[in-house]
Amino acid sequence: MDAIAPIVVGNDGSDFAQVALAKALWLASKLGAPVRVIRAWSLSNAPRPATWTPGYVPPPEDFAAAVLSDLQGDVAAKLAQYPDVQVSLETPHGAAGRELVRASEGAQIVVVGTRGLGGFKGLLLGSVSDQVVEHASCDVLVVRKATGDPAPGRTRPVDQALQPHA
């Protein structure tokens, strides 16, 4: 029997990423698929490692460990809701869009939030989500927050036609 391809989900710790993680875990529980949670990082957005002191820049491994520690803390509550889903936490060093596109190879789907920690309020789609949609090797599910999403309301007739009827 062939292994089931994983579901990849990007997580930068934002509220949008938490919604995407919940959707990815739910989908994985229905499909019996493993989940790969990806948090890409660079020195400019990584948390300060415990080994950091003034005048000393720790090695990249220390930054990677700090990123992984933050990721573990950010996803623990959601993962606890799906104890039967096999999950791996990955923290590649690089640009988020590029690393999610790389992770899409061999995945059955990539799940991302509409926006993450960066970007501007009012954008319909963040730059990372847009990059993944354009370049992923598999299908991409872009998940919106149910409420509190600062994106403009849907006004086009095609958007209204896609909304469920009451």
Region 9-24 average pLDDT = 93
Q: Token digits for 58?
A: 């720790």
Q: Out of 50-54, 112-116, 162-166, pick the least confident.
A: 162-166
> Is pLDDT at 8 greater than 90 in this prediction?
yes
Considering the chain, what is the average pLDDT of its residues? Answer: 84
* H or E segment to which residue 139 belongs: strand 139-143
Model confidence at 153, in pLDDT bands (50, 70, 90)? very low
* pLDDT given for residue 125 in this prediction: 47
Largest Cα–Cα separation, the chain? 61
Question: What is the pLDDT at residue 127?
Answer: 78
What are 74-84's pLDDT values in tens digits? 999 999 999 99
Cβ atoms of 16 and 116 closer than 8 Å: yes
Q: How confident is the model at residue 119 (pLDDT cuts 50, 70, 90)?
A: very low
Q: Tell me the CB-side half-sphere exposure of residue 71, using CA atoms within 13 A.
A: 24
Planar angle of CA 128, 132, 136, nearest 5 degrees: 160
What is the predicted pLDDT for the residue at 145? 74
The mean per-residue pLDDT over the stretch 58-87 comes to 96
What pLDDT score was predicted for residue 126?
56
Question: Which is the CATH superfamily of the domain at 7-162?
Answer: HUPs (3.40.50.620)
* Res 128: pLDDT: 85
Give the per-residue pLDDT at 148.
Answer: 56
